[in-house]
Structures are given as structure tokens and as C-alpha cells.
Amino acid sequence: MMSDFFILMKQELVITVIIFILLLLKIGADLSNEKMLQLANALLLLNLVLGFIGNRPGVLFNEMFLANPLVVLEKNILSLGTLIISLQSSAWLKKHDHVPEFYILLLCTLLGMFFMISSGNLLIFYVGLELSSIPLAAMANFDLGRKRSSEAAMKFIISSAFASGLLLFGISLVYGATGTLTFSELGALIAGGPLQTFAFVLLLAGFAFKISVVPFHLWTADVYEGAPVAVTSWLSVVSKGSVLFVFVSVLYTVFKPIAGSWYNMLFVLSVLTILTGNLFAIRQHNIKRFLAFSSIAQIGFILVGITGSSQLAAASVVYFVLIYVFSNLAAFGVIALVSAVTGREQLNDYRGFYRTNPVLSWVLTIALFSLAGVPPTAGFFGKFFLLLAGAGKGNYILVTIAALNMILSFYYYLRLVKAIFMDVNEQPIEQLSIPAYSKLALFICITGIIVTGLAGYVYDYIHSLSSKF
């Protein structure tokens, strides 16, 4: 039915329409940056609001496209993240010559993610994944004058192509072994022979590349450091979040029959990821690299949760991504502002930050506390549920390693907090005036960090949507 098409694909259609509006404006009208940003933010807000109304579950195109409440919620989380990032990057974009192009690229990747999340077929999934990563390379290059930005884009596109190639190889092996690409049919056909298992390993590597699981993570730090802060935060929050959503649903539905094998793989990968992320984070001097490695460690914790393979695990991953959106974007928001105005990105630059910028210092501190998992911030509850899900399998070695690593992560997060509040600096970052857009974004993030943890029904709601394993 025609109305099905418009209702079920509403979120994708809205994004497409916005892309075309921006494209036409770029060609036809000569808007000032100021106006352009206002319009773009308004459209993104509209997109977020529309995401909440008039949804209903269903399937389209022979189960190639799925829509259900959880999928809608996941897309809304990504829309929220997009809006926050757009608000935060306004200080940087204001001085840029190509604002509409940035938004077009950004929304193309978002569109790709939406298709990926809604996919009920490996082919659609692959198309969505590519749509979400190729424009990203262009975005990484968006600091047009900086060599490092180009280098980041180059590294990203090469690694990405490499990972995609192997992923596609895996998909073709799956097709060869089973004769179908539809998720619902695959679930019954996967049995765990060597060919299927190898195909799964290739698929897993593709996912692992996107969410930076060790040892597929090496591009992360270089790209994060080189790319503009807005793109870095996009990569670390929205892009990773979208792949995580798909990863969990694919693991829990399609590859459910070989849960025993992937459980062991995830065990090894999560330990490696947490340890590597933490150990590297300790040594970093650049704040973006620092957050890159800390986000790798966070992914390790999410993997611990995923190993739980239960409804609790599925819910806690979505819950954690939501919290991660708030916490990480709050941190990136402050860094983006400092970077846009002063160009300073070293950890040492933040010494004595509190003396000049008390408000930003508190925002950054709350965000870091939430990332570290200090109660009563939401990050604590997020990690708590992840570890709880991981403990559900009875693998206490894994949970113990994760818990010990949480302590290790306190060290480097608190080191930054100490630098902000206690260290003295000859040339501290000067006092910054916070633009209205950034203020709004930071306010949303901090409210989210506090409310998501304390209001129990947020988790309850997600839990009620999550599928039983």
C-alpha cells in the first residue's frame, strides 16, 4: 500500500527532503552562513520532532525494510545526536565557506545509517553502510586548508574500502552458503559449518572496523585527531551508535544459532579492546586522541554487555548509546568550542581551565564523570547495566577485568579533571563567550546526563522495546 510506504519510511523521507531543500538553496539562493545555520538547525529540530509522531510497525519491499518501535527509537537517538552536533559546530561552521555542503554530506550519512538500522536484508544493510561511510571521508577532509585533515580523510577512505571489501566478501560467502540474504530466513539456515563461521568472522571484522574494536581500530586515533572536531564527534557517537544498533540486532537474530562461537570471540575482543583503549588513553597528549582511545575502551564495555545475550543486554546497549550521546557530545562540545576559538587541542592546554572558564569546566567535568561512570551521573547506570548484562552469563573473569579497567579509566579521566581544577598554567585558555547554539547543546547534554540516569522509566521504556533473546 502506498500509505505504508510514506508512514514506515517517514524518517528516511524527511531526511531526503531536507537534503534536497539544502541542495536547491545551495544552487539557487545565496544565503549568509548565519541564515543557513538557523535554517539547518530548524530543519534538524523538525526532523527530530517528526520522528516521534505517527509511527507504526511494519515491513516493506519483501522484508528488505523493517520498521518497529525500537528501530524508530534508535533513529530518534541518532537524530538527537545530529541536532546536538549541528548546534555545537555552529561556531566552527560560521567561518566556513561551504556550510550547505557540510550539511548535505552529514545528512547523507545519516540517511545511510537509517537504512542500515531498518535493513532486513544484508544487501540493504551494505548499501546503507556504504552510504554512511563514503560521505564521511569527505567530511573528515572538511578543514580544507589543513594537511592533517586531508591525511585523515585519506586514511579513512582507504581503511574503509579495505574493510568494506572484506565485509562484501563475507556477505557473498553467506549468500553462497545459504542462498539468501534476508535476515528472517538466514536465522534458520545458519548452522555453524566452517564456511559459515568464516563468513561470520568477515562480517564481524566489518562491524568491528566501524565501531573500532581492537585490532581493527588503528585508523581511529589518526582520523579523530586530523578531522574537524564536529566530524570527530560525529564519528565517535552517531556513526558508532548506528553500527552498534545493527550489530546487536544482527548478532541476536541472524547469528543466534552460533551464539556459542561468537560469545568466545566477543570475550577475547572485549578484553583486548578495553585494555588497549585504556592503556593508550593514558599516554595521549592530544585531547581528541585521548577521547578517541577512551571511546575505544567504552566500546569494549559495550561488548561486555553484548556478550550477555539477553533482553537486558540488548536494552542496556541502546541505553548506554543514549547516555554516550549525551556524555561524549558534552565533552566534544566544550572541546569543539575551545578548538574553534583558540585552536588549542593539547591536554596541557586545559591546565587552569577552571580559573578562566568555570562553566565550561563544570560541563566538561560532569561529562568526564559520566564517561568514567561516577554515580549519580547517567554513565554510572549505563555501565552498571552493561556489566550486569555481562555478569548474566556467569563469566566473572570478564566482568572482573571490566571492573578493574573502570578503575584504570578513572585515573586518566580524573587526571584531566585535576588539570582543569588544580593545576596552574602560565597561559591558560582565555575566557570564552559561549555562543547561544553551543549553550543550548551543552544544556541538552547535561540535562540528559542527569535525567537519563535518575529517571528510571527511560531504561524501562527501552527494556520494554527490546527483543527477547
Partner 1 sequence: MQRPFTIDDIAMNYSSYIALIPLLPLAAFVMLGLLGKQLSRSAGILATLIMLVSTVLACYTAYNYFFVTGKVNGVYPPVAAFHYNWLPFSPGLSIDMGVLLDPASVMMLVVVNFVSLMVHVFSLAYMKGENRFATYYAFLALFTFSMLGLVLSGNLLQMYIFWELVGVSSFLLIGFYYDRPAAVAAAKKAFIVTRFADLGFLIGILILAFYGGTLDFNTLIYQLTATNSSPLTQSPQAGFPGISLLTWALMLVFMGGAGKSAMFPLHIWLPDAMEGPTPVSALIHAATMVVAGVYLVARLYPIYLLDVAVLQIITWVGAISAFLAAIIACTQTDIKRVLAYSTISQIGYMLFALGLAGYGHTTTGYSASLFHLFTHAFFKSLLFLGAGAVIHFVHTNEMLEMGGLRKWMPVTHLTFLIACMAIAGIPPFAGFFSKEEILLAAWENNRYVFLLALITSGITAFYMFRLYFSIFWSRTRSYPHQHGEGSWTMKVPLVLLGTAAVLVGFIPFADFVALDNQKEITIPLSFSIAPVTIAIAGIALAYLLYYKYNPGPQKLALALGGLYKMVKRKFYFDELYLFITKRIIFDGIAKPAAWIDKHLVDGFMNGAGRATARFAESIKAWQSGRVQSYALYFFGGIIALAALIVYWWT
Q: Which three cell numbers mark 329? A: 557530545
At its nearest, how many Å lie between partner 1 and the CB of residue 261? Answer: 5
Could you identify the residue written with the cell 541502546?
A: 318
Q: Tell whether residue 454 is a contact of partner 1 (CB under 8 A).
A: yes
When the beta carbons of 25 and 161 are compared against partner 1, the nearer one is 161
**Ranges within 296-355 binding partner 1 (CB under 8 A):** none
| 274 C-beta neighbours (distance < 10 Å), count | 27
x-or-dash pattern for partner 1, window 96-135, by CB under 8 A? ----------------------------------------
Judging by beta carbons within 10 Å of its beta carbon (0-12, 13-18, 19+), is residue 238 exposed, middle or buried? buried
Calculate the alpha carbon distances from 69 to 5, 128, 229, 443, 465 in Å: 16, 20, 32, 27, 7
Q: Tell whether residue 232 is a contact of partner 1 (CB under 8 A).
A: no
x-or-dash pattern for partner 1, window 177-196, by CB under 8 A? ---------------x-x--
Q: Which of 225, 448, 469, 220 is nearest to 329 (CA)?
A: 448
At its nearest, how many Å lie between partner 1 and the CB of residue 348? Answer: 17
Q: Tell whether residue 166 is a contact of partner 1 (CB under 8 A).
A: yes
When the beta carbons of 312 and 371 are compared against partner 1, the nearer one is 312
At its nearest, how many Å lie between partner 1 and the CB of residue 366? Answer: 19
Q: Tell whether residue 216 is a contact of partner 1 (CB under 8 A).
A: yes
Q: Which of 246, 260, 274, 253 is nearest to 307 (CA)?
A: 260
Non-local CB neighbours of 388 within 8 Å, separated by 6+ positions: 308, 312, 316
H/E stretch holding 66: strand 65-67
Q: Tell whether residue 264 is a contact of partner 1 (CB under 8 A).
A: yes
Q: Does the CA dihedral 343-344-350-353 come out positive or negative?
A: negative
Q: Which residue of 232, 276, 307, 361 would you call a contact of partner 1, by CB under 8 A? A: 276
When the beta carbons of 430 and 460 are compared against partner 1, the nearer one is 460
Question: With CB under 8 A as the contact rule, which of the stretches 102-110, 114-122, 276-284, 361-369 interacts with partner 1?
Answer: 276-284
Which residues are 121's β-sheet partners?
Answer: 182
Question: With CB under 8 A as the contact rule, which of the stretches 17-25, 37-45, 51-59, 263-271 interacts with partner 1?
Answer: 263-271
At its nearest, how many Å lie between partner 1 and the CB of residue 15? Answer: 31
Q: Tell whether residue 414 is a contact of partner 1 (CB under 8 A).
A: no
Q: Which of 331, 329, 320, 401 is nearest to 360 (CA)?
A: 331
Which residue type, as a one-letter code, is found at position 221? Answer: A
Q: Which three cell numbers mark 251? A: 548478532
Q: Tell whether residue 168 is a contact of partner 1 (CB under 8 A).
A: no
CA distance 85 to 239: 12
Q: Are 72 and 81 in contact (CB under 8 A)?
A: no
Binding-residue total with partner 1 (CB under 8 A): 40
Q: Tell whether residue 456 is a contact of partner 1 (CB under 8 A).
A: yes
At its nearest, how many Å lie between partner 1 and the CB of residue 24? Answer: 38
At its nearest, how many Å lie between partner 1 and the CB of residue 219? Answer: 6
When the beta carbons of 139 and 223 are compared against partner 1, the nearer one is 223
At its nearest, how many Å lie between partner 1 and the CB of residue 460? Answer: 6
Q: Are 242 and 117 in contact (CB under 8 A)?
A: yes
Q: Tell whether residue 282 is a contact of partner 1 (CB under 8 A).
A: yes
Q: Tell whether residue 408 is a contact of partner 1 (CB under 8 A).
A: yes
CA distance 373 to 391: 17
**Ranges within 135-164 binding partner 1 (CB under 8 A):** 154-155, 158-159, 162-163
CA distance 273 to 298: 9
Please state at what angle helix 122-140 crosses helix 147-178, rounded to 10 degrees: 170
Q: Tell whether residue 359 is a contact of partner 1 (CB under 8 A).
A: no
Question: With CB under 8 A as the contact rule, which of the stretches 134-142, 171-179, 209-217, 301-309 interacts with partner 1?
Answer: 209-217
Q: Which three cell numbers mark 173? A: 560467502
Q: Which runs of E-coded beta strand occur in 182-256?
A: none
Question: With CB under 8 A as the contact rule, which of the stretches 241-249, 257-265, 300-308, 415-423 interacts with partner 1?
Answer: 257-265
Rounded to the nearest 5°, which phi and psi values hold at 162? -60, -50
Which residue type, as a one-letter code, is found at position 124? Answer: I
Q: Which runs of E-coded beta strand occur in 303-381?
A: none
Q: Which residue of 222, 319, 338, 409 would you call a contact of partner 1, by CB under 8 A? A: 222
CA distance 207 to 216: 9
* Binding residues for partner 1 (CB under 8 A): 154-155, 158-159, 162-163, 166, 192, 194, 197-198, 201-202, 204-205, 208-209, 215-216, 218-219, 221-222, 260-261, 264-265, 268-269, 276, 279-280, 282-283, 408, 411, 454, 456-457, 460
